[in-house]
Structure 1
Amino acid sequence: MFKRESRRALAMTAVLALALTGATACAGRTAEKAPQGSAMAENRRSAEEGTVGMREFSAAPDRLPSCFRGVRGATAYRLPGSSDGGRLVTVGTGPHGVVFAPISWGDACEWAAEAKRLAADGYHVVTFDWGADRRRTVSDATRLLRSRGTKSVAWVGGCMGGTLMLGMLPDRTARPAGVAGISPLASLGGYTAGNGTSYDGELLLLGTADDPLSDEGRLREVAHSFPKAEVKVLPGTLHAAEIFAGPHGDAARRNLDGFLDRTFAPAGG
């Protein structure tokens, strides 16, 4: 009896350690706090007009990561002074842009499959390797799209990428037309009720029911700060971009496509 209980306790300890290790891998060693304070009212018109107060985009061409080599029109850029990351990869053209943010330790290849799929469907897409300043990386990716003629931009981020994007909603310099958090983190977001209550763009929160890092309960906890968000929970345990490669990938893509259709629907349509 004692040996059986000891084995059970050791097993539970191992599961807990695995979950904590996964959280560190997704969120990074230092949790970034989302900005505090009341959210600025962001309406559809201001979202489509672009970003406020952003610097003009300037970057040098860089080598494409292997996951985008041979893809027609794919281009990589390196931001000035970015020696430790900050590579941006763009593919596709058109007036509607999508910025994909990876997990904390992810890179431009994490969302490559979805980036290429959306580019084939007529979207102008950017994904990236994180730079030292993560909020700036998201803003720089948005500025890149603007510099290439994109009129309206949606943000899609997995795990810490989505957490960060949701936390940026009150920022006056960022005006996405919509934000999709894929497996966002409840414990590290630093969300307040003001983060989403006055944001007028589209919001999607998507995850899996038994994800060890962002299960249905945690996903709905995030939704408390974003009452206008559509919450979609798929079966299974997969996390962030993994969901799109798993057995419920088709459902995940339908939800993402529906979010983008709503985000870029004509005003008053």
Structure 2
Amino acid sequence: MFPRESKRALAMAAVLALALTGTSACAGRAGDPAPQGSAMAQTHRSAKEGTAGMAEFSAAPDRLPSCFRGVRGATAYRLPGSAGRGRLVTVGSGPHGVVFAPISWGDACEWAAEAKRLAAGGYHVVTFDWGGDRRRTVADATRLLRSRGTTSVAWVGGCLGGTLMLGMLTDRTARPAGVAGISPLASLGGYTAGIGTSYDGELLLLGTADDPLSDEGKLREVAHGFPKAEVTVLPGTLHAAEIFAGPHGAAARRSLDGFLGRTFAPAGG
């Protein structure tokens, strides 16, 4: 058996190898059957189509993933025509909604711990398995919250999830009240200064200093396109949702909670 430190070193070496070969652990995997397209292409589609012009939300109940079983009020939904993909899981209630987006091949369980924590704190939360169209999955999750009575929504995404959410700000008709990119990717976003400067909602960029995929330099490179964003850099190499379970998880949660508090603060408060 390998010591824990050796296992961690081997895992990080594998991640570095993926990054160096251009196959980012967040951007996708070879053999992924879903027709995702590049993050930049999805950004252009979001600007052209938006979320407001899509059909009214409707979905059927679905089986909860194991990470949410036994959680009071947790409900899973499947969208019509999703062909086994795009499951949405909602927990909590109230006027303030939070959509959590996972990394490229992540699922609804990736952000389960934070989703349950925020739901216990009075937020209405949705997390999901990616559908065939990732931009539309974010839009569907947002629409689910609004169909259940939320009046204001924030987006929180890890790695490609955060990258995509930041890129979707090009759609000026359906922007959320705030966006938090957790370890977003500088190389895939297609960001321009016009996106960030024209957005008046709250922005948070959070990552770790030596993350092989989104280190401090890359995080600040993303920040060039979002000059109004708060940038939080924590020590270590952990990535996306891993940060919240690591040794600096408490600091990450404080940063996220502060972002959400500002996002949903009363106007003029």
TM over 0.5, shorter chain: yes
Amino acid of the residue matched to residue 62 of structure 1? Answer: D
SS class of match (1:207): strand
Residue 175 (structure 1) aligns with: 175
Partner of 1:118: 118
Residue identity in the other structure for 2:220: R
In structure 2, list runs of 5 or more residues that go unmatched: 1-12, 30-36
Whether contact under 8 Å (1:79, 1:86) holds in the other structure is yes
The match for 2:39 among 32, 47, 51 is: 32
In the comparison of the two structures, how many residue pairs are matched?
A: 246
Cα deviation for residue 26 of structure 1 reads: 1.2
Query: Does the 8 Å CA contact 1:115/1:126 hold for their aligned counterparts?
Result: yes
Deviations along 1:15-74, one digit per CA (max 9) or x if unpaired, are 85243479532111453215359x8xxxxxxxxxxx743432100000000000000000
| Match runs of 1:51-62 below 5 Å | 52-62=52-62
Equivalent residue of 1:27, what SS?
A: coil
Unmatched 5+ stretches in structure 1: 1-12, 40-50
Q: Which residue of 2 aligns with 1:237?
A: 237
User: Match for residue 201 of structure 2?
Assistant: 201
Instruction: Assess if the C-alpha contact under 8 Å between 1:22 and 1:213 holds in 2.
Output: no
Aligned partner of 2:110: which letter?
Answer: E
Match of 1:45 in 2: none
Q: TM-score, normalised by structure 2?
A: 0.87
Equivalent residue runs for 1:43-82 within 5 Å: 52-82=52-82
Amino acid at match of 1:231: V
Tell me, in whole angstroms, the C-alpha distance in 2 between the residues paired with 1:236 and 1:196.
Answer: 27
Pair 1:32–1:14, CA change in 2 (3 A): closer
Identical positions, percent: 88
Which deviates the most, 189-198 or 129-138?
189-198
The AA in structure 1 aligned to 2:43 is P
Give the structure with higher Rg (CA): 1
Aligned to 1:133: 133
Query: Residues 141-185 of structure 1: CA distance to partner in whole angstroms, max 9, x if unpaired?
Result: 000000000000000000000000000001145220000000000
Following TM superposition, by how much is the alpha carbon of 1:193 offset from its aligned partner in structure 2, in angstroms? 1.5
Contact 2:19/2:25 (<8 A) preserved: no
Q: TM-score, normalised by structure 1?
A: 0.87
Residue 149 of structure 1 is matched in structure 2 by 149
Alpha carbon RMSD of aligned pairs, Å?
A: 2.1
In 2: Cα distance, 1:256 partner to 1:117 partner: 12
Cα distance in 2 for partners of 1:240, 1:14 equals 17
- Structure 1 distance, partners of 2:101, 2:15, is 28
Quote the Cα distance in structure 1 between the aligned partners of 2:188 and 2:88.
25
Contact kept, 8 Å, 1:159 with 1:181, in 2: the verdict is: yes
Which secondary structure state, in structure 2, belongs to the residue aligned with residue 232 of structure 1? strand
More contact order relative to length (CA 8 Å, sep ≥ 6): 1
